[in-house]
Amino acid sequence: MAVLGNMRSLLKFIDIGVNLSDPMFRGVYHNSTKHPDDFNDVISRAKDNGMVKMILTGGYLSECRETLELCKTDVLFGYRYILLHGRLSSDSLSRVHKGGPRNISTDLLELALANKGKVVAIGECGLDYDRLHFCPKDVQLKYFEKQMDLVEATKLPMFLHSRNCHSDFIDIIKRNRDRIAGGVVHSFTGTVAEAKEILEQDLYIGINGCSLKTQENIDAMCSIPTERLMIETDAPWCEIRPTHAGYKHIKTQFPTKKKEKWEKNFCVKSRNEPAFIIQVLEVMSATRQTDIGELADQLYNNTCQLFFPK
């Protein structure tokens, strides 16, 4: 493994978005087992590469409960848990939760209030117009607005999602800004102008591999003040691929094998994992022309300020 030498041991990270309940981390892909469960290996690699905390995600209510139980185990050494509300239509909610949207909001509120200290944010709230086949625009708009009730009731920060919908997204944020106890727009892939409008709402912006695909993406990331940035992997998704503009700045490489040829101590090709957060940092540091240690410290402090205030 090629690494940064002694500097690597000094870096510390909080990954603000990890989907650790995804079956890929148990060796299951599209309902088919391809290799042994290597969840503990994934966690060990994260620890070895400076991970101090991870904010975990849950989609459906059942996943939120499952992830919360995971956070109570020793394996995650005190990592925190983020309650993900999900971007679901009312029809989908009715199918997966008896009583539909009204009851699921009540149950999520009860879960959040009963687990203070483990539930650190409300999300994933927002809009995604690239996935209208999954949830129509009018339904997304309706329930993004309704999610503000849960945010206001818990007084927790928001974990926000905005994809190809900036105008509608920022309008809803502006209308409800006095109800929001801060937040971060994660997996940012917008423009310099869009980043500016988000910052004007006193929100943070999260950067992962998807944020570093094109030079335009990188220019937008570089326009954001360091004190408003956070870092994430969104694993097992959003890895930095060789075709990405940021890839050439990566110094740390991890040995990989295809999932069908899995071996212990190898990462799985095309499956992102928390340890790869170092690669996101390397691209950010190189393109911003910023000292990597100073940047890591600032990102860590930003995250603590929003999600883990003393």
Say if strands 28-29 and 32-33 run parallel, antiparallel, or are unpaired. Answer: antiparallel
Residue 217 pLDDT > 90: yes
What's the pLDDT tens digit per position in 119-154? Answer: 999 988 999 999 899 889 999 999 999 999 999 999
What's the pLDDT tens digit per position in 91-100? Answer: 444 444 455 5
Distances (CA, A) of 204 to 27, 94, 113, 161, 183: 33, 33, 24, 12, 6
User: Taking residues 198-213, what's their average pLDDT?
Assistant: 99
Question: What does pTM read for this prediction?
Answer: 0.92
Task: Tell whether residue 234 is among the known ligand binding residues.
Answer: yes
Task: Tell whether residue 97 is among the known ligand binding residues.
Answer: no
In contact, 179 and 202? CB cutoff 8 Å? no
Task: Tell whether residue 124 is among the known ligand binding residues.
Answer: yes
What's the pLDDT tens digit per position in 164-187? Answer: 999 999 999 999 999 999 999 999
Q: Give dist(CA 64, CA 157) in Å, integer.
A: 17
Task: Tell whether residue 166 is among the known ligand binding residues.
Answer: no
In contact, 274 and 54? CB cutoff 8 Å? yes
CA dihedral 297, 216, 49, 293 (to 10 degrees): -30
Mean pLDDT value across the chain: 90
Dihedral sign of CA atoms 72, 76, 82, 88 in order: negative
Q: Which tokens sit at 190?
A: 């917008």
Match 């999260």 to its residue by tokens.
206
pLDDT cut 70: percent of the chain above it = 87
In contact, 176 and 125? CB cutoff 8 Å? no
Q: What is the DSSP string of 66-135?
A: HHHHHHTSGGGTT-EEEEE-----HHHHHHHSTTHHHHHHHHHHHHHHHTBTTEEEEEEEEEEGGGTTTS
Q: Which tokens sit at 265?
A: 């101590």
